[in-house]
Amino acid sequence: METENVKKMWIADMGDGTYRNPILYTDYSDPDAIRVGEDFFMVASSFQNAPSVPLLWSKDLVNWKVINYVIEKLPFPGYEKPRYGCGAWAPAIRYHQGLYYVFVPFPDEGIVMYSAHDPWGKWEGPTVIKRCAGWIDPCPFWDDDGTMYMVNGFAKSRIGFKSALYLCPIRDDGEGLTAMVDEGQFVFDGHRTQPTIEGPKLYKRNGWYYIFAPAGGVKTGWQTVLRSKNIYGPYEEKIVLRQGSTPVNAPHQGAWVDTPRGEDWFLHFQDVGSAGRIVHLQPMRWEDDWPVMGEKQDENGCGQPVMRHKKPDVDAVCPADAPEDSDLFRGNTLGLQWQWNANFDESWYSLGEGFLRLKAVQCPEGSRLFDLGNLLLQKWPAPEFAVTARLELRDLEEGDECGMVSLGGISDGILVKKHAGALTLRQRTGEVKKGRETWRGLGVTLTGTGLYIRMTVRADTVSWEYSEDGRSYHAIGQATRAVAGTWVGVKVGLAALHQGQGRTGEAKIDFFVFSPLE
């Protein structure tokens, strides 16, 4: 397989001064963004994956790269195993007096803060802002007098209610609330007009305090903006962005940013099912101190998303690009597109000599794919694609298994197992919520130690092929449905495991390359 001319799977920059939405067809859920000088930074949710909270950087709001992670390993006990639907929920990023801040909610443990002088460097933390369950979507804000506040929402699954926003002051050092909960206050009740309001982002403009917050639910809702002359309210409300006649259902949680030349833009996500929550960019302007987003403003000032638009006016020439997806494993560090399925151990892998060594990790008997923290995964880079990996298996030990996996609400994988000295292929398929997994032998015994595995995603269906020479591919196994996980899209990646107490080996991965469908 040709690997020298690898191309990115989704490019939003059209090369003619315009861009298409989504700008990222990748599951960067719950995006928040800021501008510092001429640089834009974005963070997103990670849930149980580690490293956690990806940090993306752009010069023009269209072409983005992952440059870092805010959290190397999840800071609370229990995340050495996958905890689906838990972990790092919707973060917020801000910059104040030379310091970058990221607030991260853990819905079962509390709200923590990380900070850095250099966003490309190591982030310090965690500083615990509040130990609690059910407080989510925190956003810090510094008022003109220097007072620091935090606005947040609530998760009904943890605290018993939702559709409300809360505001409280915080000490400037971020080490804890200045007061107990009863000294902050609820600033908006959305039960009657803005059900499931969440994801608040607090700003100030022309003497108005604004809370940008989605409502109506992830799949069917809209974007709401609240405003008041008093930070504690009462707040007026207005719906500013709906699906309208577009395919962009429920334009959801995001961030308002401006450019150095004075333009205003709004980033938000769209839930598209199996691929997860992808990121869109909307033009924005102000009328009567209300934001107007997108296009085709109705009589109430509500816009709808654009599908193609002129790029932001910035003083930079940015080549068309996107976050990394394919990996040839040529460096000495793991690419930033990769995350583990839980907190990781550095002994699970090594790099060098032009390939990835993936160690077979001992797992309890009966372990299922979705039980494993040592799945090395990345997000889908496009709605449809093929991805091919080459594995060298001469260093597997008896009882080792290694191969390619797809992980969402349904787990699926084609793995080679060394048994009685032979290398045989089998398929593992499971339903994460039901806790069930089945495996089946595929009647294939390899004649050598080299294996190519190809996974194809087409119309939300995952199918498989294998080859021993990289030229002739053969369909194998059963196709499965691609089903989103708990608030996350399906991921694809690699697995290496060993059940039992025998000696463990390793597989060498030469490349992991995405390609468009023909």
Structural domain of 473: 339-515
Are 455 and 492 contacting, i.e. CB atoms less than 8 angstroms apart? yes
**Looking at the 3D structure of the chain, how many domains does it have?**
2
Residue 154 within any structural domain of the chain: yes
Are 226 and 213 contacting, i.e. CB atoms less than 8 angstroms apart? yes
Residue 267 within any structural domain of the chain: no
- 84 and 227 inside one domain: yes
Which of these three, 203, 235, 260, is where a domain ends?
A: 260
Each residue's pLDDT, cut to its tens digit, for the chain (518 residues) gives: 566 678 899 999 999 999 999 999 999 999 999 999 999 999 999 999 999 999 999 999 999 999 999 999 999 999 999 999 999 999 999 999 999 999 999 999 999 999 999 999 999 999 999 999 999 999 999 999 999 999 999 999 999 999 999 999 988 665 565 544 447 899 999 999 999 999 999 999 999 999 999 999 999 999 999 999 999 999 999 999 999 999 999 999 999 999 999 999 999 999 999 999 999 999 999 999 999 999 988 888 899 999 999 999 998 889 999 999 999 999 999 999 999 999 999 999 999 989 999 999 999 989 999 999 999 999 999 999 999 999 999 999 999 999 999 999 999 999 999 999 999 999 999 999 999 999 999 999 999 999 999 999 999 999 999 999 999 999 999 999 999 999 999 999 999 999 888 899 999 999 999 999 98
Residue 297's pLDDT is 83
- Phi, then psi, of 517 in degrees rounded to 5: -75, 145
Residue 300's pLDDT is 84
C-alpha closest to that of 368 among 338, 410, 340: 410
**Active-site residue set:** 30, 198
Which of these three, 230, 260, 290, is where a domain ends?
A: 260
Q: What is the dihedral of CA 20, 26, 30, 34, to 10 degrees?
A: -60
- 343 and 250 inside one domain: no
Residue 334 within any structural domain of the chain: no
Residue 181's pLDDT is 43
Kindly report the length of the chain.
518
- 61 and 201 inside one domain: yes
pLDDT in tens, 407-460: 999 999 999 999 999 999 999 999 999 999 999 999 999 999 999 999 999 999
- 190 and 53 inside one domain: yes
pLDDT in tens, 137-178: 999 999 999 999 999 999 999 999 999 999 999 886 655 655
Residue 25 within any structural domain of the chain: no
Which of these three, 260, 280, 306, is where a domain ends?
A: 260
Q: Which domain CATH number covers 236?
A: 2.115.10.20
- 376 and 498 inside one domain: yes
C-alpha closest to that of 28 among 120, 91, 108: 91
Residue 270 within any structural domain of the chain: no
